[in-house]
Amino acid sequence: MAEKDKSYLYKLKPIIDRLPAVTKPEGHVVFRKKMMWVVLTLILYFVMTNVMLYGLDEAKTIDLFASYRAIMAGAQGSLMHLGIGPIVTGSIIMQLFTGAKIIKLDLSDDDDQAIYQGTQKFLVIIMIFVEAIPQVYGYLVPSDTFVSNLNGIWVGHGDGLAKTIIVVELFVGSYLVFLMDEVVSKWGLGSGISLFIAAGVAQASFTGTINFVAADPTQPFSVRNPPTGTIPKTIYLFQHMSAGQLASGGYERILIQNPNPVIALVGTLIIFFFVAYAESSRIELPLSHGEARGARGRYPIKLIYASNIPVILMSALLANISMFSMLFWSHPSMSKFPILGHNWMLGAYEAGSTRPISGLAYYTSTIRGVGDWLLPLTNPSYASMLGTHNQLQLLIHVIVFVGLMVFGSVLFAKFWIETTNMGPEAVAEQIMNQGMQIPGFRREPKVLKRVLERYIPVVTVLSGAVVGILAAGADLIGTVGNTSGTGVLLAVGIMIQFYEAMGREQMMEMHPVLRGMLGGQ
């Protein structure tokens, strides 16, 4: 590529080359070692979710990502407080800018691909501070003891020093997550981000199903304070409620009302089996070898061709809308920002709550099961759940949320295909490099590209729409453990893909000649 044609992002190369990174393995990494790195990374992830930020007053902490905690793969007040938020946000920005041709990079070129990935890494660092600083200087409050101890070191500056230390802790935790993702991608199997999401959702779903702790642990068990897990809650209420109590609202509490109603457990199981079916649905294009007569194969184009990445990106985008709208509404400094500051049209919140009550943030916020919308829409006795809204506003909220999830997933699916070399042109080149062709067509890249253009663009749009509908539909039904329908959808898809990746790796271990054909190292 000529110097004058190079992207302006090449000016960042001196900085990018100095950023900490995980080196690629020089040769093939055996399956056993890959699994070892995956397990070790997962253990480190769970350790980090249980290491609380030093000096933080947990009682005064407000979690801006409360509604998206499972998808963000984090834990409130821990080193994983920001979760994968900065990584995914950086990816969203790079994909949007590349897809809109604002950033001119040819991702089929190795140098441009390296600059793309390096710039994304640099952007992740920026996003860590963008997300950490406003939260620390507004919602992550340092404890009085920590501040007073630091005042002894630097009189009058204890609060500022305490907040700076917490920002540094968040940076270290978030950048470690980024490096852990690189470890899994380069030395393990699949994607670290996906692995963390699946682990967090699986943990929350398990506890949401069998948790025996009462809704208010400080009070004894009662009909008003039953266990929170779906199974123990259902058993307890059936044992301690009379027939009259069950008939006058008990069944609704058990079946529909949060937390962890029976319908949420049923919805979780339905999503599990439906995603498993969708992952196995595919179109297979017949291939034959151009030189070895009789050698044949198939190129599979899955129904969920773009994987579950579009839903991750769309959910992260909605999470950022929620976070920044709350910052502009109630943050001590950002609420004074011209036009956006304390503007109800962007989003309004009640004191101490992370759920918007009006504005853009309300209509884009996640819906938590049928208890959030079906009960107040169909049963007048639950009209109080509408709060300051009427039924029409709630219905618009449902329609807008579902529409955004579907449209956004389709959009990100198209961007993802182009930025990961899964488009018709890139796939045609991959097939040609393997010496394969479609029977009955000339062995030329342009011809193969035209054939693939009949399928890949259509399946890409369908793929994005399917995962968007599944995620939004699962949110409407509800899931156990407050993991959100999107979280369950992602976790199931990730586990299936990880299982398939394990199968491919084991096959390549037994038959090394297949490694090149399947894209292994």
Q: What are phi and psi of 20, to 5 degrees?
A: -60, 135
Residue 254 in contact with residue 237, Cβ under 8 Å?
yes
CA distance 104 to 9: 9
3-state helix, strand, coil in the chain (%, to 5): 65, 5, 30
CA 479 to CA 161: how far, in whole Å? 41
Q: Report the candidate in 339, 319, 296, 316 with the shortest Cα–Cα distance to residue 440.
A: 296
Evaluated on CA atoms 466, 470, 497, 69, the torsion sign reads: positive
Name the β-bridge partners of 56.
142
Q: What are phi and psi of 253, to 5 degrees?
A: -60, -40
Cβ–Cβ < 8 Å for 331, 337: no
Please answer whether residues 214 and 228 qualify as being in contact, where contact means their C-beta atoms are separated by less than 8 angstroms: yes
Question: Residue 111 has what pLDDT?
Answer: 83
Tens-binned pLDDT, residue by residue, of the chain (521 aa): 444 467 788 888 888 888 888 888 887 788 889 999 999 999 999 999 999 999 998 878 877 777 777 778 888 889 999 988 898 888 888 877 877 677 888 777 778 888 888 898 899 999 999 989 988 987 888 999 999 989 888 877 888 899 999 999 999 999 999 999 999 988 988 888 888 888 888 888 888 899 888 888 888 889 889 998 999 999 999 999 988 888 888 888 888 877 888 988 888 888 888 888 887 888 888 887 666 565 667 778 888 888 778 888 888 888 888 888 988 998 888 888 888 899 999 999 987 788 898 899 999 998 888 878 887 888 777 666 677 788 889 999 999 999 999 999 999 998 888 777 788 888 888 788 777 777 777 777 788 888 888 888 999 999 999 889 988 988 888 888 877 777 888 888 888 888 888 887 877 776 665 555 545 55
- What is the pLDDT at residue 53? 92
Question: How many Å apart are CA 296 and CA 17, to the nearest integer?
Answer: 43
Report strand pairing: 348-349 vs 356-358: antiparallel
Give residues with Cβ within 8 angstroms of 39, minimum separation 6.
none
CB atoms under 10 Å from CB of 517, counted, come to 13
In sequence order, the 6+-apart residues with CB closer than 8 A to the CB of 349 are: 326, 329, 330, 355, 356, 357
Tokens of 72: 């963000």
- Taking the C-alpha atoms of residue 389 and residue 384, their distance in angstroms, rounded to an integer, is 10
How much is the pLDDT for 161?
Answer: 92
Q: Under a CB-based contact definition with an 8 Å cutoff, are residues 68 and 358 in contact?
A: no
- CB-based contact 453:477 (threshold 8 Å): no
Angle at 404 (CA atoms; ends 398, 405), nearest 5 degrees: 90
DSSP-assigned letters across all residues of 261-314:
-HHHHHHHHHHHHHHHHHHH-EEEEEEEESSSTT-EEEEEEETTTTTTHHHHHH
Going by the DSSP 8-state scheme, the letter that residue 445 receives in this structure is H
pLDDT score recorded for residue 4: 46
Instruction: Return the pLDDT at 36.
Output: 93
d(CA 119, CA 103): 11
Distance (Å, whole) CA 426 – CA 1 = 19
Q: Terminus-to-terminus CA distance in the chain, angstroms? A: 27
Yes or no: say if 471 and 485 are a contact pair by the CB < 8 Å rule: yes
pLDDT at 165: 94
Indicate the SS3 state at residue 292: coil
Q: Rounding to the nearest 10 degrees, give the CA dihedral for residues 311, 317, 318, 322.
A: 150
- Tally the residues of the chain: 521
Count Cβ atoms below 10 Å from residue 116 Cβ, excluding itself.
Answer: 21
> Angle at CA 505, nearest 5°, toward 501 and 508?
140
- What is the pairing mode between strands 436-437 and 356-358? unpaired
Q: How far apart (Å, rounded) are the C-alpha atoms in residues 126 and 82? A: 13
At residue 303, the 3 state secondary structure works out as: coil
Global pTM exceeds 0.95: no
In the chain, the domains with their CATH numbers are 3-18+28-211+260-517 (1.10.3370.10), 214-259 (no CATH)
Tokens 């992952």 correspond to what residue? 279
242's torsion region: left (phi>0), alpha (psi -120 to 50) or beta?
beta
Q: Would you say 94 and 122 are in contact if contact means Cβ atoms under 8 Å apart?
A: no
Helix (H) or strand (E) holding 328: helix 309-330
Q: What is the predicted pLDDT for the residue at 410? A: 94
Q: How far apart are CA 334 and CA 326, in angstroms?
A: 10
One-letter amino acid for residue 408 of the chain: G
What does the buried/exposed string (b/e) look like for 474-499 if buried means 16 or more CB atoms within 10 Å of the residue's CB? bbbbbbbbbbbbbbbbbbbbbbbbbe
* Cα distances (angstroms) measured from residue 445 to each of 59, 401, 426: 62, 41, 10
Phi and psi at residue 357, to the nearest 5° = -110, -10
Give residues with Cβ within 8 angstroms of 9, minimum separation 6: 103, 105, 115, 116, 119
